[in-house]
Amino acid sequence: MCLSCFLVGQCGNQIGSVLWPLILKEYGLLQQESDKKQPFKKVQEDAIHSFFYQVPEKTISCSLDFKKSNLKARALLIDMEESVVQRFQTGPLRDLFDNACSLTNYPGSGNNWAVGYFTHGGEQKSIIKEMLRSAAEKCDRLHCFLQVFSLGGGTGSGLGSAILPLLEEQFPKVDRVAVCVHPGVNNDVVTSPYNIAFSMKKLVEYASCVFPLDNKAILDICDRLGAPAELKTWSPYKNINSVIAKMLLALTSGARFPGTLNLDISDIATNMVPFYRLNFLSSSLFPIKLPKANGFRIMNRESEQIFRVCAKENQLLRIDPMKGRLFGATLLSRSKAPLSDLRQNIERYFCSILFLLILYSALRFSLSPHTVIRTHGPYTWPHCKVFANIGSVSIIH
Amino acid sequence: MGNKHLRARSILVDTEDKVISRLKFLDSEPNAWSFSAENVVINNRGGCGNNWAVGYTECGPESCVNILEKIRKETEKCDNIMYFLTLGSTGGGTGSGFSSYIIEAIRSEYSHKVLMASFVLPYSDGDVNTQNLNTIFTLSKCYSVCDAIVLFNNSSIHKQLNSCKKFGYFDMNRFISEQLSCFLQPFSNFSSISGVYDILMPLISHPQYKLLALMANSSECHTKFNAISKWETLIRNLNFKLRKLDLPNVSRIRDTRLSNQYLEKCIANLLVCRGADSILTESVAKKHFGSSDYYPLWTPKSERFSHLYHNRKFCDYNEYALLVSNNRLICKDLNNILERGWCSYVHNAYIHHYKKYSFEQEDMINAFSKVENILKCYSSL
Whether residue B296 is contained in a domain is answered as yes
Whether residue B311 is contained in a domain is answered as yes
Which residue did the predictor score with more confidence, B265 or A257? B265
Q: Is B321 helix (H, G, I), strand (E, B) or coil?
A: strand
Residues in CB range of B229: below 8 A, 6 or more apart: none
CB contact under 8 A, A366 and B22: no
**Looking at residue A362, what is its pLDDT?**
28
The CATH number covering residue B266 comes to 3.30.1330
**Looking at residue B30, what is its pLDDT?**
67
B33 to chain A, minimum CA–CA distance in Å?
23
Q: Write out the H or E segment, with its range, that includes residue B65.
A: helix B60-76
Number of separate domains in chain A: 2
Residues in CB range of A340: below 8 A, 6 or more apart: B158, B161, B162, B165, B166, B167, B168
Nearest CA in chain A to B124: A368
Whether A324 and A186 share a structural domain:
no
CB contact under 8 A, B340 and A276: no
Number of separate domains in chain B: 1
Distance, in Å, from the CA atom of A130 to the CA atom of A134, rounded to the nearest integer, reads 6
Q: Does residue A343 sit at the B interface (CB-CB below 8 Å)?
A: yes
**Looking at residue B222, what is its pLDDT?**
45
Count of CA atoms in the C-beta half-sphere (13 A) of A190: 1
Which residue did the predictor score with more confidence, A360 or B328? B328
**Looking at residue B168, what is its pLDDT?**
75
Query: Which of B24, B128, B347, B359 best tests the A interface by mutation, with the highest count of A CBs <10 A?
Result: B128
CB contact under 8 A, A274 and B349: yes
Whether residue A273 is contained in a domain is answered as no
Q: Does residue B62 sit at the A interface (CB-CB below 8 Å)?
A: no
Distance, in Å, from the CA atom of A193 to the CA atom of A354, rounded to the nearest integer, reads 32
Report for A87-101, B2-16, B41-55, B191-205: range of highest mean pLDDT? B41-55
Percent of chain A's residues with pLDDT above 70: 66
Which residue did the predictor score with more confidence, A123 or A140? A123
Whether residue B287 is contained in a domain is answered as yes
Whether A9 and A126 share a structural domain:
yes
Whether A327 and A202 share a structural domain:
no
Q: Does residue B113 sit at the A interface (CB-CB below 8 Å)?
A: no
Domain that holds residue A131: 2-207
Tell me whether the omega of the peptide bond preceding residue A382 falls within 30 degrees of 0, making it cis. Answer: no
Q: Which of B49, B162, B348 minimises the CB distance to A270?
A: B49
Distance, in Å, from the CA atom of A349 to the CA atom of A307, rounded to the nearest integer, reads 6
Whether residue B135 is contained in a domain is answered as no
Among the candidates A159, A187, A207, a domain finishes at: A207
**Looking at residue A350, what is its pLDDT?**
57
Query: Which of A262, A368, A371, A392 best tests the B interface by mutation, with the highest count of B CBs <10 A?
Result: A368
Asked casually if ipTM beats, i.e. exceeds, 0.95, the reply is no
Strand partners, B217: B321
- Taking CB atoms and an 8 Å cut-off, how many pairs form between chains A and B? 115
CB contact under 8 A, A365 and B44: no
Arithmetic mean of pLDDT, B141-146: 92
CB contact under 8 A, B343 and A369: no
Domain that holds residue B322: 236-330
Distance, in Å, from the CA atom of B113 to the CA atom of A44, rounded to the nearest integer, reads 44
Whether residue B92 is contained in a domain is answered as no
Whether residue A167 is contained in a domain is answered as yes
Whether residue B313 is contained in a domain is answered as yes
CB contact under 8 A, B169 and A260: yes
What is the DSSP code string of A238-273? HHHHHHHHHHHHHHHHHHHS--SS---HHHHHHHH-
CB contact under 8 A, A370 and B126: yes
From chain A, the residues in CB contact with B169 under 8 A are: 260-261, 339
Q: Which of residues 148-177 of A touch B (CB under 8 A)?
A: 175
What would the pLDDT profile of A214-261 be if each residue is shown by its tens digit? 888 888 888 887 665 555 566 778 888 888 888 888 888 777 777 666
Strand partners, A346: none
Q: Is A302 helix (H, G, I), strand (E, B) or coil?
A: helix
Distance, in Å, from the CA atom of B277 to the CA atom of A9, rounded to the nearest integer, reads 76
Whether A203 and A320 share a structural domain:
no
**Looking at residue A53, what is its pLDDT?**
84
Whether residue B253 is contained in a domain is answered as yes
Q: Which of A264, A338, A363 minimises the CB distance to B168?
A: A338
Nearest CA in chain A to B163: A340
Which residue did the predictor score with more confidence, B220 or A174? A174
**Cβ(A215)–Cβ(A182) under 8 Å?**
yes
Whether residue B138 is contained in a domain is answered as no
Strand partners, B322: B216, B272
Which among A222, A395, A247 is positioned nearest to A323, based on CA atoms? A395
CB contact under 8 A, A258 and B19: yes
Which among B215, B229, B206, B199 is positioned nearest to B264, based on CA atoms? B215
What would the pLDDT profile of B279-304 be if each residue is shown by its tens digit? 788 888 888 888 888 888 888 888 88
CB contact under 8 A, B50 and A270: yes
Q: Does residue A275 sit at the B interface (CB-CB below 8 Å)?
A: yes
Residue B246: Cβ within 10 Å count:
8
**Cβ(B285)–Cβ(B235) under 8 Å?**
yes
Q: How confident is the model at residue B23 (pLDDT cuts 50, 70, 90)?
A: confident
Q: Which of residues 230-269 of B touch A (CB under 8 A)?
A: none
CB contact under 8 A, B132 and A368: yes
Helix axes B154-162, B169-184, angle to 10 degrees: 100
**Looking at residue A361, what is its pLDDT?**
29
The pTM of this model reads 0.86
Arithmetic mean of pLDDT, A134-155: 87
Q: Which of A260, A262, A367 minimises the CB distance to B129?
A: A367
Q: Does residue A276 sit at the B interface (CB-CB below 8 Å)?
A: yes
Give yes or no for residue A300 having a pLDDT over 80.
no
**Cβ(A149)–Cβ(A117) under 8 Å?**
no
Q: Does residue B129 sit at the A interface (CB-CB below 8 Å)?
A: yes
Arithmetic mean of pLDDT, B152-162: 85
Q: Does residue B191 sit at the A interface (CB-CB below 8 Å)?
A: no
Whether residue A7 is contained in a domain is answered as yes
Arithmetic mean of pLDDT, B240-253: 59
From chain B, the residues in CB contact with A371 under 8 A are: 126-129
Which among B149, B60, B150 is positioned nearest to B108, based on CA atoms? B60
The CATH number covering residue A76 comes to 3.40.50.1440
Distance, in Å, from the CA atom of A128 to the CA atom of B180, rounded to the nearest integer, reads 54
What would the pLDDT profile of B54-106 be if each residue is shown by its tens digit? 999 989 999 999 999 999 999 999 888 888 999 999 988 888 999 999 999 99
Give yes or no for residue A355 having a pLDDT over 50.
no
Whether residue A141 is contained in a domain is answered as yes
Pairing of strands A142-150, A175-182: parallel
